A and B are shown apart, each in its own frame.
Chain A
Amino acid sequence: EVQLVESGGGLVKPGGSLRLSCAASGFTFSSYSMNWVRQAPGKGLEWVSSISSSSSYIYYADSVKGRFTISRDNAKNSLYLQMNSLRAEDTAVYYCARAVTVTTPDYWGQGTLVTVSS
């Protein structure tokens, strides 16, 4: 059974940093691209970033480019999102998702809430 478990969310002040983690199990992690997708309270889904299976290809939404960094550790079956210079508009539930194409997920984690507020 595919499982994706996010962690690392919380309350952070504007301008602060946070690192999200996603622990994957139930599939060959090193064979899949992975995504981060977020959802602001009461809003729709917004793709944030994608990383290919070997980290050769990395993509970001314009809204986070230069502030967020996606990475992965295939030996640890883990995906990460380093978020710097956080803004109020980054407040959202952040989902880790396995990708069937670069920006098309199939399995999703349950999400972790990031709140940016003073």
Chain B
Amino acid sequence: SSELTQDPAVSVALGQTVRITCQGDSLRSYYASWYQQKPGQAPVLVIYGKNNRPSGIPDRFSGSSSGNTASLTITGAQAEDEADYYCNSRDSSGNPFGGGTKLTVL
């Protein structure tokens, strides 16, 4: 079981903005990292730290945090953003990964 809680599924219309959230006590002390995983592929880091994007990640991806909740925001979602998204927090008790959110782009 995960100590980080995510909504199982979220949908967004093409070109609109979507927020994917992650809740957990460890997020009061540490920033979340976010991973995108497409079917049959390995996860890819999209956000880490306060709001940092690895090289090659589009700037429509951003991260934020408040209290025990971290958020991944996609501003102007594209068809290629349809994927599973996982949060991760250091020192989270139990599994450091959230259960994942399946994002559907309509």
- A residues contacting B by CB (< 8 A) are 37, 44-47, 61, 95, 100-111
Contact = CB atoms under 8 A, between A and B. Distances in A.
B76 interface: no
B96 A110 contact: no
A109 B41 CA distance: 10
Nearest to B6: A44
Most B CB within 10 A of own CB, among A37, A45, A103, A107: A45
- What are the 4 closest A-B residue pairs judged by CB atoms, nearest first? A103-B96, A101-B90, A108-B42, A45-B97
Contacts of A37: 97
A106 B48 contact: yes
Interface of B: 2, 33, 35, 37, 41-45, 48, 54, 84, 86, 88-92, 95-100
A61 B2 CA distance: 12
Nearest to A100: B48
B90 A104 contact: yes
B89 to A, nearest CB: 8
Contact of B100 (A44, A103, A108): A44
A108 B54 contact: no
Contact of A95 (B42, B54, B88, B95): B42
Contact of B95 (A61, A108, A109): A61
A46 B95 contact: yes
Nearest to B101: A44
Given A103-B90, A104-B33, A44 B99 contact: yes
